[in-house]
Structure 1
Amino acid sequence: MSRAPQVFRRSFGHGPRPVLAVHCSLAHSGAWRGVAEAMAEEITLTAFDMLSHGRSPDWDGQGNYQLLNVQAGLALLTGPLDLVGHSFGATVALRMAMARPDLVRSLTLIEPVLFAAARDEDPAAFAALEEASRPAEAAWAAGDRELATRLFNRMWGPGEPKWPDLPAPARAAMVRAMPVVMASRAVLHEDANGTLAPGALDVVTMPVQILTGAGSPPVIPAIARSLCRRLASAAHAEVPGAGHMLPVTRPAETAAQLRRFWTRT
């Protein structure tokens, strides 16, 4: 394996339980602050900025973006710990668990966006996702990077504040990260990295929690069901009233779900 990319990382909390967390697209490691503060006495949470996000360097367009972030995350796995990922970060966390199951005590996938998992599970939900994605993809193809980012954020962001009301630095950070979103389409929609290939997930034998928001698009629970069928130790939990950004919008409920899961396991 080639040398892991150098990425920015930070830690929250001072509890005895080590946790490594991977944020969603267009965000950064600080997205975990609310969850970590709700569990500050219980966990020490380390999070890193994926390439082209936060304080990490930009992806140079070379290599596989998802797997480069997997390498960056694996470099932080110094001993057995609980691994948590959100959205695209959940797909990174899943690949990390596949690569080093011996170092992952438990795995929590929050709103995983491995859309290819829903293709056969719920064809209608997958088709709706493809249709909903077209405006952002068309804007990108037309060279309007900011509009593509705005439309993508409208689909998957928390809803408030609206794009014009976001601080200019926040909008610029999202626009900066948008190229890696578009470059990851084949990985997420077509499973180009073979995460769902026969037998590929057999090594993921640690306890797995798949956590979703009740208000998320139908493709998300379809992904959860599909992954639960493939992962013998997986269970699906839903947070009432939450949407895709639940670690940010519902940190206390997310922390409660993690606490409950870790207590059981």
Structure 2
Amino acid sequence: MEQRIVARGPARIGYLAAGRGPAVLLLASLGRGAEDFAEVAPLVAAAGFRVLCPDPRGIGRSVGPMAGLTLYDLAEDAAAVLDAEATGPAVVAGHAFGNWVARALSAARPDLVRSVVLLAASISQALDPAVRASIDGSFDPRLGEAERLAHLQRGYFAPGHDARVWLSGWHPSVAQMQRAATAATDERWRRVAERHPTHYVAAAADTIAPVPTRDALREALGGPVGLTVIAEAGHALLPEQPAATAGALVRFAIEQS
């Protein structure tokens, strides 16, 4: 994949790019970066798409102010990548926390969005306290490896899958920035299906975002939403089932291209 960088005011946003064709923008999970799409992105590109994977501020070559932000600022960082590539409206896919940035992009720059895919996405901010503790513990460097692995397994991976693949790649300061940005943002970003065609890709063994009903999706997202359920995957999804995830993305992107 090509490594590129684009300036947006005082920020610089690094991103990976591959392929040719209609654009698919991939947005990573809380405190994690574009490397999470290392297996998924080439499969989507090989299907005939221009795949773009930006790093959030604070990861890789992406830098910029980390305080006083909202989800719309993070969405505009992603928009800068689409503007630089001059791709036209893109299929925007957000994994886990990235789904909130995808929805904010739909609200802030609807001209750049063709449709939206939510991958193992929390459609509300309500979480079981035990699950929240596992999210926090997964990237707490003060914890020992065995304890972090237990949190990763409980929160992110389906039974029988090796959670060690996610021991690295966590950026606590980025997660802190993203949480603060979410808390500072109004509510209009949430109802993405009122603005763009939307598809939800669920992980069957997800403890953070259990498989929703279509009625729950309609109520939370503001309109009819397609649903694909991927077996033998937890909230991490991407390293567990890259081919199935890419296949779901490609099928929806073809429908929307």
Amino acid across the alignment from 2:201: L
**Residue 212 (str. 1) matches residue 221 (str. 2):** no
Structure number with the higher helix fraction is 1
Q: CA deviation at 1:161?
A: 4.7
Give TM-score, length-normalised by structure 2. 0.75
1:100-111 matches, within 5 Å, as 100-111=109-120
2:106–2:192 contact (8 Å) kept in structure 1: no
2:100 to 91, 100, 116: 91
With over 3 angstroms needed to count, the CA separation of the structure-2 counterparts of 1:54 and 1:228, relative to structure 1, is farther
The structural deviation recorded for 1:27 is 2.8
Correspondence 1:180 to 2:174: yes
Give the one of 51, 64, 68 matched to 2:73. Answer: 68
Equivalent residue number for residue 122 of structure 1: none
Counterpart in 2 of 1:133? Answer: 132
Compared CA separation, residues 243 and 9, structure 1 to 2 (3 A): same
User: Following TM superposition, by how much is the alpha carbon of 1:202 offset from its aligned partner in structure 2, in angstroms?
Assistant: 6.7
Q: Could you tell me whether the CA contact under 8 Å between 2:92 and 2:116 is conserved in 1? A: yes
Residues 115 and 223 of structure 1 are in contact (CA less than 8 Å); yes or no, is this contact kept in structure 2? no
Per-residue displacement from partner, 1:57-94 (whole Å, max 9, x unpaired)? 3x654112633321201112332111111111111111
CA distance in 2, matches of 1:47, 1:12: 9
Q: 1:146 aligns with which of 142, 148, 164?
A: 142
Q: Give SS of 1:249's match.
A: coil
The residue correspondences of 1:106-255 to structure 2 (distance < 5 A) are 106-116=115-125, 119=126, 126=127, 129-134=128-133, 145-147=141-143, 150=148, 153-158=152-157, 161=162, 171=168, 173-174=169-170, 177-185=171-179, 193-195=185-187, 201=191, 204-217=194-207, 219-222=209-212, 226-229=216-219, 230-255=221-246
Counterpart of 2:172 in structure 1: which amino acid? M
Provide the alpha-carbon RMSD of the alignment: 3.4
> Aligned with 1:69: secondary structure?
helix
Structure 2: runs of 5 or more not aligned: 1-7
1:20 and 2:22 equivalent? no
Deviation of the 1:108 alpha carbon: 0.4
- TM-score, normalised by the number of residues in structure 1: 0.73
Q: Which whole-Å CA distance do the structure 1 matches of 2:155 and 2:141 have between them?
A: 17
Aligned residues: 238
Q: Which runs of 5+ in 1 are unaligned?
A: 120-125
